[in-house]
Chains A and B, each alone.
Chain A
Amino acid sequence: MNTIFQYIKRYRLSIIIALMLMFVELAVELTQPLLIRKIIDEGIVVGESHTIWLWGSIMMLLALLAFLAGICNSFFAGYAAQNFAYDLRNALFKKVQSFTMATFLQFPSASLITRLTNDVTQVQQVFFMSLRIMLRAPLVVLGSLIMAFYVDASLAIYLCIGIPVLAVFMYMMVKKSIGNFALVQHKVDRVNRMIQENLQAMRLVKAYLRGLYEVSRFEKVASALKKDTSSALRLMEYIQPILLIVMNIAMLAILWFGAGQIQNGKTNIGDIAAIVNYTMRMTGSFSMFAFIITLFSRAKASATRMEEILLIKDGIEEVVLPTKIEAPYKKGEIVFENVSFKYPQTDRYVLKNISFSCKKGEKIAIMGATGSGKSTLLQLITKFYEVEEGRILVDGVDIKEWNLKNLRQSIGYVPQRSLLFTGTIFDNITWGKTKATKEEVIKATKQAQIYDSIMDFQNGYQTRVGQKGVNLSGGQKQRLSIARAILRKPEFLLFDDSTSALDVKTESALWKALEEEQATMLVVTQKIRTAKGADRIILLEDGVLSAFGTHKELIASSILYKKIAQSQMELGVKGDD
């Protein structure tokens, strides 16, 4: 709770103002019975219409004052609560942005989404409520208790008998229900996840006609949520009746023993009536108590879930490291020295003892069977994952010592699966460099061979792109990703099989156009044709670098390479005759 509390503290001033305004309201409310009595005793009974008018008007004025205080309270309470939520959301989002890829695997995106919206709302609501009404119930209870003792302590003591029992009971309930509500939020995660997955897989679900199957899967998740929510809420429903019983029995005890005292002449009726009255008031506020406890437990569960995120210390990308160099020398070199790698939390080496180097302006093709580690190799250069064995030097400096931001700024990475965002085509291209001019964009799109396609769209650069680029063809997505990368004029270009959906003609034009970029290129590909156009070729076999050299060298030396070449030549031979 402490971490979350800090976000509350920032709005100390408005919280204090809000609470003070609430006290004004409460004070007016409590004085009203007194005023009524005054009107009756000094006005009506005596027959003074003047007093009636006077105190009547005072009462009205006070009511108006309470009203104004209440309205103002809304502004300050709203201000504090909304700002608290705003800060919390932003802090969470900022934290999430600093996660390493490995941390993302621990927190599924659906769960992060719940935490950033649903959980924040939960806590914010409670905060707002407590600034407005929540404190009222405890105050009423306390006030009534004090008054009861003031009237007759020997009777009021019966009210206290129930308190230790209730305190233990409430403590246990809260403890239990915090766990319950955490479970509920976890189920919300699952519902979120299930929907997200279904939306992502919509075409597949439809193609295989699995709508009903998906619904039945969803029903399981949704009914688990229903069940957990019901039982969490139902547990809270025990509170109010039990509070009522204990309080009412205490009141009956007062009546019973009070009767005895009256017999003895120790107490008078007026006192008993007053204490009974105060007890009833207390009891009335207790239903509010049950409500408060529910909200509080819920908020506490959500707060813990948020803290889980905010308190993560490891698994965070250090963007600003004490770096040796801030400005890169732009040498354009990449060197792998005995790099071995396994993904976090697995024990199989995906890359084994890889060493190679490439020079400025060189174009290196990376080939290898499915799952041989090509994508992994590229992702090590962008430092998505930490290398633990061996080292990678970029421009002669170990990437561990690079400032992360500078490193990534000098790399143009085109992922294997094109990831585009909702927005216009223009937004997507300038996504990595928002300040790019129109000319730069046109140049990049021309180089990426997507210019003509864009011009064919009715709205050109302003064409809307759906989430993940659903309304574009496979090749269009890939070329947009390429345009997005080259627009930044990076020192290194990493293409992860980014031309697989391109036809031969388009692809050749692309490579040709990229020649004028002076970038060092690492190109993952399955096509011998593409490899041929590279200066050298890295051949990976099960994570081991099995060959490194030019096309000619590899054809001569590597059996695997020859096999790959043959698998693609076969057709050509036939096609030509």
Chain B
Amino acid sequence: MIKSKLRSYIYEPVLTKEDIQSSKKRKGARASDWRKTLGRIWKIVDEQRALLIIILLMVVISSILSLLGPYLIGKIIDDHMIKKDFTGLKSMILVLIFVYIGLSISIFLQNYWMIGIAQQTVYRMRTGLFAKFQRLPIAFFDKRQHGELMSRMTNDMDNISSTLNSTFIQVFSSVITLVGTLVVMFSMSPLLTFLTMLIIPVMFVSTRWITRRTGKLFKTQQQALGSLNGMIEETISGQRVVKAFSQEQRMIDEFANKSSDLRRVGYWANVYSGAIPKTMNLLNNTSFAIVAGVGGILALKGYVSIGTIVVFSEYARQFTRPLNDLSNQFNNVLSAIAGAERVFTIMDEKEEQDQGKGELIREIRGDVTFEDVSFQYNLEEDIATIEHINFHVKKGQTVALVGATGAGKTTIMQLLARFYDPQQGRILIDDCPIQTISRQNLRSQMAFVLQEPFLFEATIKENIRYGRLQATDDDVVNAAKKANAHNFIMSLPNGYDTVLTADGGEISQGQRQLLSIARALVANPAILLLDEATSSIDTVTELEIQEALERLMEGRTSLVIAHRLNTIRKADLILVMEKGKLIESGEREKLIAKKGVFYQMLQQSTL
């Protein structure tokens, strides 16, 4: 009965035998992984070496002062109290006051500065990771949950920060105390010192036994937390659908499931890492007993004096405390490593490659050529997304991409903006292969209105200005007017200074598109890419924007995708796509005369 009741307090283990076995086998490799991760953190910490050295100095000072205090007090007791000679007591006490003030100050300063270093390190890692995000290819993000990535930025970083705050100082001062006590002990009795040190190997082995488990557990714990974060983020972002489909209960259940995974790992992480101080305590007491017992026998035989044993047992205690601290810190370090490894895996992801990095920023005229371009998103599959695409656009022309949904229109635009690189064929801009133009150069002369408009949590003005950061307020207003957004913006309580909520949740979809268009209008690009830019805008408004757009497109190369065919009635070239292939292309009149697919599409849309 009791047994089964007790069992309910114990969760199913997370680590399997194989896990532990394999970690044993990989011991060498893992230790070097740890070293590498620590090395990388250290590199950032080390940027503030001067401060670090001062901190170390402070640790030395505080260690000395904390030894000096008891020493002086001992002296007071011995020299003054026992001898009942109170001359000079006053000055001794004054000295002690200074010692203790000095101790407090040095402790304060070392911690104060260490917090600075730790936070600076975390800051550097955070911004480093964020900057890394900006350099990663789009494909990286297609596969990952936002919340999971966010967790690395907050929860994993927290592990690192809390470890850095305390561990560094603790480890250093433990080592100092350890060495100090060892020296004193050795000078008192080498034999007893040797006895005390017997526990070190045991300590070592048991710490290893535990950390072999906690290292893995901590990592799994961070993963579970990340995946939970991912689920929360996604559910809350998609709350509208959750509500519309009354799926709240299912979400709650799924959450509870993930949450209980975290509970189980967290439980075992707690249990194992909690075992470290307890084991150390046991070893502590053992060594204490050894010193007392064996020392006692030795004293009987006259090898050591009784006084030595008394003092020595006190030192033995002091000796094991820093060891104890060290092994505890080791555990903390492991939890930091678990977080850091997750950060560094992303830091090691392959970045967007730029062959034309060194190339000077140059004006792009806007001749675009696709030569036998084929591309697929997923290399493991054998279905190409677009195949053998050939077309040529002269500077200043407007090209319309039409075709059934999923035909690959957006893909073509994404290739042109080098979000992805084609596996086969060449894309030329001004007769230069696109790979030789740096992304920087290329995109700086493009404006892209994406199929899914996105707005930042910022003022409307800032959102439009995103297209060109130097744009003046007048430019912004002009662009908004051209995009027909001015009127609705003015109807908002604070006009252009209205702060939008996350992703512009408070304005209508069409209004979001208007702002996206205004953003592109501000940019003043050589190449304009419009992907269904007006799909949610009513046709009357669209007609009005059309004029502004046409004026904008003059002299610029533009690619336009639209399902409403009158959106593209002025296009110089029409490309009709179907299932990733270009099936018709040419001028509008010609295509109509040909009475092919495009003609049919027109017929249908005018029915």
Q: Which residues of B contact A303 (CB under 8 A)?
A: none
Residue interface mask B507-531, A partner, CB < 8 A = 1: 1111101100001000100000100
**A43 at the A/B interface (Cβ < 8 Å)?**
yes
Residue interface mask B293-305, A partner, CB < 8 A = 1: 1001101100000
Is there contact, CB below 8 Å, between B239 and A44? no
**A417 at the A/B interface (Cβ < 8 Å)?**
yes
Q: What is the interface of chain A mostly: helix, strand, loop, or mixed? A: helix
Is there contact, CB below 8 Å, between A60 and B285? yes
Query: Which of B189-197, B254-262, B473-481 faces chain A?
Result: B254-262
Q: How far is the CA of A114 from the CA of B292 in the complex (A)?
A: 52
**What is the interface size of chain B, counting residues whose CB is below 8 A from a CB of the partner?**
185
A348: contacting residue among B165, B299, B491, CB under 8 A: B491
Is there contact, CB below 8 Å, between A571 and B606? yes
The smallest beta-carbon distance between A528 and chain B, in angstroms, is 8
Query: Which of B12-20, B178-186, B452-460 faces chain A?
Result: B452-460
Q: Which residues of A contact B237 (CB under 8 A)?
A: 109, 419, 468
The smallest beta-carbon distance between B243 and chain A, in angstroms, is 6
Q: Which residues of B contact A357 (CB under 8 A)?
A: none
Residue interface mask B114-156, A partner, CB < 8 A = 1: 0110011011001100110111001001111111011101110
**A511 at the A/B interface (Cβ < 8 Å)?**
no
Residue interface mask A350-368, B partner, CB < 8 A = 1: 0000000000000000011
Q: Which residues of A contact B457 (CB under 8 A)?
A: 108, 193, 197
Q: Which residues of B contact A563 (CB under 8 A)?
A: 540
CB closest chain-A residue, reference B141: A202
Is there contact, CB below 8 Å, between A47 and B300? yes
**A168 at the A/B interface (Cβ < 8 Å)?**
no
Q: How far is the CA of A320 from the CA of B532 in the complex (A)?
A: 42
Contact of A209 with B443 at beta-carbon distance under 8 Å, contacts A237-B115, A415-B241 already known: yes
Is there contact, CB below 8 Å, between B134 and A108? no
Is there contact, CB below 8 Å, between B289 and A56? yes
Contact of A97 with B248 at beta-carbon distance under 8 Å, contacts A207-B450, A229-B119, A572-B606 already known: yes
Is there contact, CB below 8 Å, between B278 and A74? yes
Give residues of chain B (196-249) contacting chain A, Cβ–Cβ below 8 Å.
Answer: 225, 228-230, 232-248
**B267 at the A/B interface (Cβ < 8 Å)?**
yes
Residue interface mask A109-129, B partner, CB < 8 A = 1: 110111011100100100010
Q: How far is the CA of A50 from the CA of B604 in the complex (A)?
A: 107
Query: Which of B45-53, B96-104, B423-431 faces chain A?
Result: B96-104
The smallest beta-carbon distance between B158 and chain A, in angstroms, is 7
**B432 at the A/B interface (Cβ < 8 Å)?**
no
Q: How far is the CA of A366 from the CA of B279 in the complex (A)?
A: 72
The smallest beta-carbon distance between A214 and chain B, in angstroms, is 6
Residue interface mask A471-486, B partner, CB < 8 A = 1: 1111110110000100
Query: Which of A65-73, A153-161, A324-332, A513-521 faces chain B?
Result: A65-73
Give residues of chain A (128-159) contacting chain B, Cβ–Cβ below 8 Å.
Answer: 128, 132-133
A40: contacting residue among B108, B141, B250, B306, CB under 8 A: B306
Is there contact, CB below 8 Å, between A79 and B9? yes
Is there contact, CB below 8 Å, between A208 and B142? no
**A285 at the A/B interface (Cβ < 8 Å)?**
no
**B71 at the A/B interface (Cβ < 8 Å)?**
no
Contact of A419 with B97 at beta-carbon distance under 8 Å, contacts A66-B285, A504-B605 already known: no
Is there contact, CB below 8 Å, between A203 and B539? no
Is there contact, CB below 8 Å, between A195 and B563? no
**A94 at the A/B interface (Cβ < 8 Å)?**
yes
Contact of A196 with B444 at beta-carbon distance under 8 Å, contacts A113-B236, A202-B138 already known: no
A44: contacting residue among B158, B300, B535, CB under 8 A: B300
Q: Which residues of B contact A251 (CB under 8 A)?
A: 73
Q: Which residues of A contact B607 (CB under 8 A)?
A: 529
Q: Which residues of A contact B161 (CB under 8 A)?
A: 229
Q: How far is the CA of A203 from the CA of B151 in the complex (A)?
A: 21
Is there contact, CB below 8 Å, between A211 and B532? no
Is there contact, CB below 8 Å, between B539 and A245? no
Q: How far is the CA of A567 from the CA of B377 in the complex (A)?
A: 38
**B472 at the A/B interface (Cβ < 8 Å)?**
no
Q: Which residues of B contact A457 (CB under 8 A)?
A: 383
**A204 at the A/B interface (Cβ < 8 Å)?**
yes
Is there contact, CB below 8 Å, between B107 and A230? no
A501: contacting residue among B154, B535, B540, CB under 8 A: B535
Q: How far is the CA of A105 from the CA of B507 in the complex (A)?
A: 13
Residue interface mask A519-530, B partner, CB < 8 A = 1: 000000011110
Residue interface mask A35-76, B partner, CB < 8 A = 1: 010011001110101001100100110111011001101111
Is there contact, CB below 8 Å, between A211 and B145? no
**A164 at the A/B interface (Cβ < 8 Å)?**
no
Is there contact, CB below 8 Å, between B281 and A70? yes
5 tightest A-B CB contacts, nearest first: A475-B405, A572-B606, A370-B510, A70-B278, A211-B134
17 cross-chain CB contacts under 8 A: A56-B289, A70-B275, A75-B10, A104-B236, A116-B228, A133-B277, A193-B502, A196-B147, A206-B134, A206-B417, A208-B523, A226-B122, A369-B510, A370-B510, A384-B240, A503-B403, A526-B537
- If A191-B126, A248-B103, A467-B145 are given as contacts, then 16 extra A-B residue pairs at C-beta distance below 8 Å, sorted by A number, are A49-B296, A77-B270, A86-B263, A93-B232, A94-B252, A112-B232, A113-B236, A117-B232, A211-B134, A219-B127, A230-B115, A255-B93, A259-B81, A474-B451, A501-B451, A503-B404
